[in-house]
A and B are shown apart, each in its own frame.
Chain A
Amino acid sequence: MGQIYKPGTKLSSTVCKTQIMALRVPAEELDVSCGGAPMQVGDPAELGEMSGDNAGTLVGKRYTDADETMEFLCTRGGEGTIAIEGYVIDIKAAKKLPSSD
């Protein structure tokens, strides 16, 4: 069921309002889910049932895996939790401020 995603691709949850954008992704097939259901390109016509433990997503936050091999930006928050290959990905620390601008 996995798919290869390009940076800039937007994925929508099929069980809540969450929408994310791929910022950095490896060139390999990925299973991306939210609220226990696979995410898809484009908003779903109607929302399905959420499953599992869900802590929700926050708009504007970046989500990354433990090794930081990939990064997603939450462009719309919702109640589901995002997982890649079944592993929950977490909020990344804010960007360092520049030393000048």
Chain B
Amino acid sequence: MLSGKEIWAAFGRVIRREMRLMFHQPIYFYSTLIVMMVCTIFFLTLLHRGQPERMPVAVVDMDCSTISRRIVHELNATQSVVVAYRCADFAEARRMMQRGDVYAILVIPENLYNDMLSFKRPTLTFYINATYTMGATVAYKQLMMFGNLASGAFQREVLRKKGLPDSLIMQRIQPIVIDGHMLSNPSSNYSVYLSSVLLPGILGLIVLVITVFSIGMELKWKTSRNLLAEARGSMVIAMVGKMVPHIMVYTTMGISLNILLFRIMGFPMNGSLVWLCVGMFLYILAVQSIGVTIVGLLPVLRDALSISALYGMLSFSLSGFTFPVEGMPGPIQVFSWCFPLRHYFRLYVSEALMGNPTVDSMVFIGCQLLFILPQYLVHKRLKNAFIYQNYPLK
């Protein structure tokens, strides 16, 4: 048995050894700091507008009257769409849409103006290009609203001719009004949706891969016996000591990221940022534990890296921040619990968006804590691999 002093000395040696490795290999610097910074800058600048605006649509104007020109004019005045092309026939517009140049087509029928005046109800036709779902949804919403406003405007004119006062006309045209309240994200800013989970997800991906890499490299370079010797043969000291420098780097990165998002960028935060940062810390520990488990089960650097890449990329889908997990098949819903990003996402919703009491967030923090355990199950197997180095190196 080691005495307390020896344990601390061993820890110190392993930590110093790991830090030396980290500083001497540029790959650590590139694949953590540089990659994370590039991704942060990329996503925050890409989504800085928050809402997709001025989606190009094509108009097929078969009427060519003052009213159809006014429709084009009014459409251009809206925020969400812009009439990018005015086509002479539908075939041309269809090609535009197939080419992905426009997200929707508006067909204005012949004799629109005359038919309106003679109460024949001419029909406007929209074609929506759902190949690109985001642009299509924005364009569709705007066109639908536009269609209703057009009818409303016509009725207003009729009622005005009848001599009704404007105050009465409004409630005539719109007997029901829905006041929408977008809770805690009033402008439905997509950056808030995506960046606050996507970026921690990328951080998690980096943590996972680097953890696997740093342990796998010990096996590949056959330095694992040296590591064990420094740790006085204790697997716990070796692994924890090895992880401590990494944890410090990633936690600093994670917390700076949260401060950047919620303090500097001003993303909504209805709960406590401190708890979200605690969640971030535990999320990093959880992901590291999974990395250790993977490399423990498959002590071959190449296989462990492939598996963690597969797992890491899946975590974006299965965390449910784009397509809700509730809409996925049952087995996948259960499987989604195995992803720390899922729990981090739920903690984020509970803390930042809903502003729930801290007690509610504890569930998600507890889930992250559970992830720390499985790495201890593979310690024995990993120790054998460390000693005998009997796995393929390539």
Say if A and B assemble together. no
* B interface residues (Cβ-Cβ under 8 A, vs A): none
* A interface residues (Cβ-Cβ under 8 A, vs B): none
